[in-house]
A and B are shown apart, each in its own frame.
Chain A
Amino acid sequence: MHELSIAMSIVDMAEEEATQRHGRVVAVHLRLGQLAGVVKDALLSCYSMASSGTLLEGSELRVEEVPVEIFCGTCNAPRVLSSMQWFACPVCGTPSAAVVHGKELEVSALEIEE
């Protein structure tokens, strides 16, 4: 369970931005890959705890889940996996460990009231 420390990092990062921009953060947008090793629901419940008493108190964490995308050498194209238990091209079946997306753990944007 490392979601609390991840939530605290998100709050720190957003506070810094909010201070620079002299605004109040209403929402934080997060891109969360399925391979990032972070559980969305656990992160959401940690977020309110991590943000309470900070400039981010009362703000909302909006999580955009990013599916795992591999590069298929046979099709010569990126493909979204059909299952996390099968790292292969869903079109032609060629196995691939070349992960293009799915490891993201990134604050993508902030909604700020000025």
Chain B
Amino acid sequence: MSTPRLVEVRKNVLKQNDVIARSLRERFQNEGVFVVSLVSSPGAGKTTFLEKTLTLLRDRYRVAALVGDLATENDAMRLARSGAPVKQITTGTLCHLEAAMVQSALSGWDTTNLDFLFIENVGNLVCPSSYDLGEDLRLVLMSVTEGEDKPLKYPTIFNSADVAVITKMDLAEAVEFDEHAAIANIQAVRPGMTILKVSAKSGFGLQEYLNYLVHLAESKSTAHAESRP
């Protein structure tokens, strides 16, 4: 038997996901919808934060949400209270969303009349980092109750996200949250990262966060309009 021959391949293992994510991004661009995804550990407050976001944005914008959950439809039911259209993606035992799941959840759903689409990932700080979903902006949430060193433990997810959102700020004092340390840790693993502080319960920081989203969405649509011949 001959000795094995080394054949160069150089293929991205997640190519299939990346191809679908790219086509989703093009679709969202053409439809003029700004897409925001949320990742965090379980219990960081994604659903409450998103429910508040949908409720507040609905006054002036057309918004909708996709929500990934392992087994239940509880999150979708909670988000539906905002009055916005919500679709559940039940992932079964899968610990993260993939671009194909977003694509199939959107089939038959008219997103052309939307301003914002939110995608809530499964609560997990590891697996979602590998998968592009075609979003414009990825938020990583960490709550004040989780400990200031979360970013140091999960540098990968902080590097796959665009903005860090510190949630449950209303509890900061009660849990002796060291804001200075948390911010320093985020900046250590992702220098220059934009950091927002919010409380969905008290409303603290929400206006600033919404203004930020609206500003990004408007910049995107202006850039798209200018790029057209």
Whether A95 pairs with B2 at a CB distance below 8 angstroms is no
A17 and chain B: residue at smallest CB distance: B9
Give the distance to chain B from A25, nearest Cβ to Cβ, in Å.
Answer: 9
Cross-chain contact A106 with B11 (CB below 8 angstroms): yes
B189: which of A87, A106, A110, A114 is its contact (CB, 8 Å)? A87
Q: Is B229 an interface residue (CB 8 A)?
A: no
User: Does B156 contact A113, Cβ atoms closer than 8 Å?
Assistant: no
Q: Please, which residues of chain A bring their CB within 8 A of the CB of B187?
A: 95
Cβ of A44 under 8 Å from chain B: no
Taking CB atoms, residues of chain A closer than 8 Å to B10 are 106-109
**Least distance between B140 CB and chain A CB atoms (Å):** 13
A38 to B12, CA, bound (A): 14
Secondary structure at chain A's binding surface: helix, strand, loop or mixed? mixed
Write out the residue numbers on chain B whose beta carbons fall within 8 Å of the beta carbon of A26: 4
Contact partner of A109 (CB less than 8 A), chosen from B6, B14, B157, B188, is: B6
The interface residues of chain B lying within 8 Å CB-to-CB of A29 are 6
Given contacts A2-B95, A38-B130, 18 further A-B contacts (CB under 8 A): A2-B94, A2-B96, A13-B13, A35-B156, A37-B126, A37-B157, A87-B191, A88-B188, A95-B188, A97-B191, A105-B13, A107-B9, A109-B6, A110-B7, A111-B4, A112-B5, A113-B2, A114-B5
Asked if B159 and A99 sit within 8 Å, CB to CB, the answer is yes
Point out the residue from B2, B5, B188 that lies within 8 Å of A87, measured CB to CB: B188
B192: which of A1, A2, A97, A107 is its contact (CB, 8 Å)? A97
**Nearest CB of A to B22, in Å:** 16
Q: Does A96 contact B (CB under 8 A)?
A: yes
Specify which chain A residues have a CB less than 8 angstroms from the CB of B174 in the assembled complex: none
Considering only CB atoms and an 8 Å cut-off, how many residues of chain A contact the other chain? 37
Q: Are A36 and B130 in contact (CB under 8 A)?
A: yes
Q: What B residues does A110 contact at CB under 8 A?
A: 6-7, 9
A84, closest chain B residue (CB): B155
From B6, B127, B157, A1 is in contact (CB under 8 Å) with B127
Interface residues of A in 1-47 (CB under 8 A from B): 1-2, 5-6, 9-10, 13, 17, 21, 23, 26-27, 29-30, 35-38
Chain A residues near B188 (CB, 8 Å)?
85-88, 95
A88-B126 in contact (CB<8A): no
The reply to whether the CB of B223 lies closer than 8 angstroms to some CB of chain A is no
B192-220 CB contacts (< 8 Å) to partner A: 192-193
